[in-house]
Amino acid sequence: MEDISQGNYNTQVPVVSNDEFGLIAAKTNEMIKGLKEGDFCQISFGRFVTPEISDRILKGQVPVEGEVINVTIMLCDLRGYTTFVERRDPREVVSFLNEYFSAMEQAVKQYGGIVLQLIGDEIEAVFGAPIELSDHPEKAVMAALEMRERLKDLNRKRVSMKKDPVAHGIGIHTGKVLAGSIGSEDRMVYSMVGDTVNTASRLESLNKTHGTDILISQKTKELVRGKNFNFSSLGKTALRGKSEEIEIFKVL
């Protein structure tokens, strides 16, 4: 039991009889198996998944070993973050980031997405994995619009407290990724790898150039055509690391 309390879930209790002691040993092994699966889910997905998704993962309904799938990736980044940090008390920065990330994560979850990671002031989210969504491009755009509204709410609160408003940029792209639990032996996280992630990141950065807050690729726009969204083409542009130009759109 001491090994189990320290997180060593590879321990097994020998079942050497068919009496009540054997039953206790068998039930203990079942408990250890459940703890091990729960620990894997927590390490791989953290607190970013809903209870429904966690339940499907633990039931083996979500492959996490590695697969190529079609998803929509969202990258979101605060504008002027470095200056923001330098000019403020660390406690204020931490308090704001916690409030901001909570609001944005709620918007992502509201439309079936999952926050994969938070790095500094950046949010990486996916729609369509690990739980399949047939309309993941639409859900990603809806989440981005909700994030816009939630940021407005945060800024109204900041202005009422005599604090400067903040801005962010969001990039969205749809395509294939390699999805799975990736990392070292001691730290495995559910991640997305591939050109789709890189393209979403490039789009996010282009918000600075165009003075926009949400940019999507032509691929994503084509998949949400006919939906109740308003877009404006910014023409074709060359993305760093890509040989061909792609048309990009701002979300109105």
Full pLDDT tens readout for the chain, 252 residues: 444 344 443 455 454 455 554 455 455 445 444 444 455 555 555 555 566 666 666 666 666 678 899 999 999 999 988 888 888 888 989 999 999 999 999 999 999 999 999 988 999 999 999 888 999 999 999 999 999 999 999 999 999 999 999 999 999 999 999 998 787 877 777 889 999 999 999 999 999 999 999 999 999 999 998 888 999 999 999 888 787 899 999 999
Contacts of 109 (CB under 8 A, 6+ apart): 50, 115
Read out DSSP for the chain? -HHHHTT-TT-------SSHHHHHHHHHHHHHHHHHHHHHHHHHHTT-S-HHHHHHHHTT-S--S-EEEEEEEEEEEETTHHHHHHTS-HHHHHHHHHHHHHHHHHHHHHTT-EEEEEETTEEEEEESSSS--TTHHHHHHHHHHHHHHHHHHHHHHHHHTT-----EEEEEEEEEEEEEEEE-SS-EEEEEESHHHHHHHHHHHHHHHHT-SEEEEHHHHHHTTTSS--EEEEEEEPPTT-SS-EEEEEE-
Q: Where are the domains of the chain?
A: 2-45, 63-251
**pLDDT given at position 17:** 54
pTM of the shown model? 0.81
Overall size of the chain counted in residues: 252
CATH number at 63-251: 3.30.70.1230
Query: 51, 61, 78: which is closest to 165 by C-alpha?
Result: 78
Q: Report pLDDT for 15.
A: 47
d(CA 44, CA 240): 30
Q: Please, what is the angle between helix 20-45 and helix 51-58, to 10°?
A: 120
- pLDDT value for 13: 44
pLDDT, position 34: 47
Nearest to 38 by CA among 11, 7, 2: 7
- State the pLDDT at residue 82: 82
What pLDDT score does 8 carry? 42
Q: What is the pLDDT of residue 155?
A: 97
Contacts of 208 (CB under 8 A, 6+ apart): 79, 169
